[in-house]
Amino acid sequence: MQVTTRRPMVAGNWKMNGDTSLIKTMQSTLAQADLSNMDWVICPPMPLLGLFDKSTKLGSQNVSQFDSGAHTGETSTSLLKEVGCQYVIIGHSERRQDNHESDQLIAEKVKKTLDAGLTPIFCFGEPESVRDDGSLFEYLSAQLDAVLEVIGISAFADLVMAYEPIWAIGTGKTASPEQAQEVHAFVRDYLAKQDANIAQQQVILYGGSVKGSNADELFSQPDVDGGLIGGASLKPDDFLSICLAANKLG
């Protein structure tokens, strides 16, 4: 039997929200707690990245696939590193939808991020129609395959995955713990076909209407290693409860 050393993690995706005052209250709220068994990460909008204490782990919500040059509005991996970023959310459904990011572009960005020594938080997940028409696992495997083909299974050791069913994002309609577990176990088995050890160590977060009130039961599922949090990551007390739920797993 393999020993699992997966470290629980909670990442707050502030999306296009937050300001300097939220940075202060978030940092002071979380500093009060013992969260030594888990990692918490804040992914604020780009202009706020440089304004956090050095002790806060930071992620960006996007990255360019290019190194530098004439790409107005884009941010490179090296600029993210300059402002102390360690993680990059890639493949979020809002960017897939609003910015027409394809599976191929997402795979390219994952590779670029890994090459720069940053940790991608690779997001995948289905719209409700896919669940309804019975093609859930085919749909998810296509999203995973696009990245697997470009970076290979061994590189999965250096990234975090986040399952975010689109129908559960910002809707208050959380996946049930059983629905989350079913997909997380599927993903782990899918990776295990290529490398059992990497699959066993793979951190897989759940995202979609996670709150302080439902984090415990979601995170208690055997293949759920923490969460990627939207709305509740803007409320310091709620975010702290979620982090404490993850800390209990460690």
Torsion sign over Cα 48, 23, 57, 168: negative
Question: Could you tell me the smallest distance in angstroms from the CB atom of residue 236 to ligand 13P?
Answer: 15
The per-residue DSSP string of 142-172 comes to HHHHHHHHHH-GGGGGG-EEEE--GGGTTSS
Question: Could you tell me the smallest distance in angstroms from the CB atom of residue 192 to ligand 13P?
Answer: 26
Q: Which long-range contacts (CB under 8 A, 24 or more apart) does 129-132 make?
A: 131/165, 131/167
The interface mask with ligand 13P, positions 34-73, x = CB under 6 A, is ----------------------------------------
Residue 228 interacting with ligand 13P (CB under 6 A): yes
Q: How many CA atoms lie within 13 A of 228 on its CB side?
A: 37
Query: Exposure string (b/e) for 176-187, b if CB count within 10 Å is 16 or more?
Result: ebebbbbbbebb
Type of residue numbered 61: Q
Which of 63, 88, 136, 169 is close enough to bind ligand 13P by CB under 6 A?
Answer: 169
Which of 44, 91, 165, 208 is close enough to bind ligand 13P by CB under 6 A?
Answer: 208
Type of residue numbered 189: D
Residue 75 interacting with ligand 13P (CB under 6 A): no
Q: How many CA atoms lie within 13 A of 200 on its CB side?
A: 8
Let me know: does 198 contact 156? Beta carbons within 8 Å: yes
Stretch that binds ligand 13P, among 71-79, 138-146, 180-188, 228-236 (CB under 6 A): 228-236
Residue 230 interacting with ligand 13P (CB under 6 A): yes
Question: Could you tell me the smallest distance in angstroms from the CB atom of residue 209 to ligand 13P?
Answer: 4
Active site residue 164: yes
Active site residue 108: no
Tell me which residues touch ligand 13P (CB under 6 A): 13, 92, 164, 169-170, 207-210, 228-232
Provide the annotated active-site residues: 92, 164
